[in-house]
Amino acid sequence: MAQGTLYIVSAPSGAGKSSLIQALLKTQPLYDTQVSISHTTRAVRPGEKHGEHYFFVSEAEFCDMIEKDDFLEHAQVFGNYYGTSRAAIEQVLKTGVDVFLDIDWQGAKQIREKMSDARSIFILPPSKEELGRRLRGRNQDSEEVIAKRMAQAVAEMTHFAEYDYLIVNDDFDLALLDLKTIIRAERLRLGRQKLKYDGLITKLLAD
């Protein structure tokens, strides 16, 4: 059984990361590409499903998983825990499915250390002006809030060089094609192909 690839995707907000990943998953079948599902201790919101949006667990269960070192990374945000379970991801990878993980540079760093086979992709906006427009949104926020968002975006972008691939999201369709191109090329690597064509290779090399 071929082993899937874990993709870590990071970007400043305003680069279009979430839209790109959503568009990617829409065009790829579930048996082919999936997004990683996090564990969280926060309350279920209306419409959310366990195992689809999050794995909802109690604080005791979450702490138990931390102790068992089951998390590739975890963090506390506004009093709630969020984490990426190694077991949950490895179970999907084992079936040959590629898994996408939408995470910031700090989470990416932790995961890279624990999953050395993971590939990482950083997405950049096409210009500072366009980034400003996207962060400004519907013009409902104060200049102070927008300046803070921009500072956060720049801080995230200073880590672009820690990633394997770099995509500039100028034209959305081209950026989506870039993402697909990376996935397809990674599937042509020796390790994946050797497993996929195991039978053929044995026959070709037989006397």
Q: Give the bridge partners for 124, in sequence order.
A: 168
Contact status: 131 vs its own copies (CB under 8 A): yes
Alpha helices, H only, 4-142: 17-27, 59-67, 86-94, 105-114, 128-136
Q: Which is nearer to its own copies, 144 or 207 (CB)?
A: 207
One symbol per residue from 64 to 103: x for binding its own copies (CB under 8 A), - otherwise; what is it? ----------------------------------------
Whose CA is closest to 4, among 115, 122, 104?
Answer: 115
Contact status: 197 vs its own copies (CB under 8 A): yes
Q: Please name the amino acid found at residue 18.
A: S
Using the contact rule CB under 8 A, the part of the chain among 36-44, 58-66, 106-114, 117-125 near its own copies is 117-125
Using the contact rule CB under 8 A, the part of the chain among 28-36, 51-59, 85-93, 158-166 near its own copies is 158-166
Listing DSSP states for 22-35 in one string gives HHHHHHS-TTTEEE
Asked if 29 contacts 95 with a C-beta cutoff of 8 angstroms, the reply is no
Whether 15 has a binding-site annotation, put simply, is yes
CA distance 15 to 121: 13
Whether 13 has a binding-site annotation, put simply, is yes
Phi, psi at 84, each rounded to 5°: -110, 115
Which of 5, 125, 135, 176 touches its own copies by CB under 8 A? 125
Q: Which is nearer to its own copies, 65 or 121 (CB)?
A: 121
Residues 21-60 that bind its own copies (CB under 8 A): none
Contact status: 178 vs its own copies (CB under 8 A): yes
Phi, psi at 123, each rounded to 5°: -110, 130
Whether 11 has a binding-site annotation, put simply, is yes
Whether 132 has a binding-site annotation, put simply, is no
Asked if 98 contacts 119 with a C-beta cutoff of 8 angstroms, the reply is no
Instruction: Mark the binding-site residues for ATP, compressed into ranges.
Output: 11-18
Q: Which residues would be at the binding site for its own copies (CB under 8 A)?
A: 122, 124-128, 131, 154, 157-158, 160-161, 163-168, 178, 181-182, 184-186, 188-190, 193-194, 197, 200-201, 203-207
